[in-house]
Structure 1
Amino acid sequence: MVLQQILVFLVSTLFSFYIGAVLIRFLLAWSRADFYNPFSQFIVKITNPPLVKLRRIIPALGKLDTAAIVLALLLQIALIILLVIIQGKSSQISANIFYIVLLAMIELIRTVIWIYIIALIIQAILSWTNNQQGNPIAGLLDSLTRPLLRPVQRYVQPISGIDVSPMIVMLGLYIILIILGPSPF
Structure 2
Amino acid sequence: MTDSYLTNPVVFLIQTLFGLYTTIVILRFLLQWMRADFYNPISQFVVKLTTPVLGPLRRVVPGIGGADIASLVLAWLLKSTELILIGLLVGANRNLLGAFFWSLPALVGLVINIFLFAVFIRVILSWVAPDPRHPGVHLLDSLTSPLLRPAQRLLPPIGGIDLSPMLVIIGLVLLRMLLLPPLQALTLSPQWVV
**Structures share fold, TM-score greater than 0.5:** yes
Superposed, 1:14-25 pairs within 5 Å as 14-25=17-28
Q: TM-score, normalised by structure 2?
A: 0.88
Superposed, 1:36-51 pairs within 5 Å as 36-51=39-54
Q: What is the percent sequence identity of the aligned residues?
A: 44
Is residue 83–residue 193 contact of structure 2 (8 Å, CA) maintained in 1? no
Counterpart of 1:33? 36
More deviation, 28-37/131-140: 131-140
Secondary structure of the 1:2 match is coil
Cα displacement string for residues 78-112 of structure 1 (whole angstroms, at most 9, x for unaligned residues):
11111101112213325xx2xx2332110001001
Counterpart of 1:168? 167
Q: TM-score, normalised by structure 1?
A: 0.92
Superposed, 1:150-169 pairs within 5 Å as 150-169=149-168
**C-alpha displacement at 1:172, in angstroms?**
1.1
Backbone CA RMSD of aligned residues: 1.5
Asked whether 1:101 is paired with 2:75, we answer no
Counterpart of 1:54? 57
Secondary structure of the 2:95 match is helix
Task: Output the CA distance in 1 between the equivalents of 2:171 and 2:154.
Answer: 15
Asked whether 1:184 is paired with 2:193, we answer yes
Number of aligned positions between the proteins: 181
**For structure 1, which runs of at least 5 residues remain unmatched after alignment?**
none
Is residue 107–residue 183 contact of structure 1 (8 Å, CA) maintained in 2? no
Secondary structure of the 1:139 match is helix
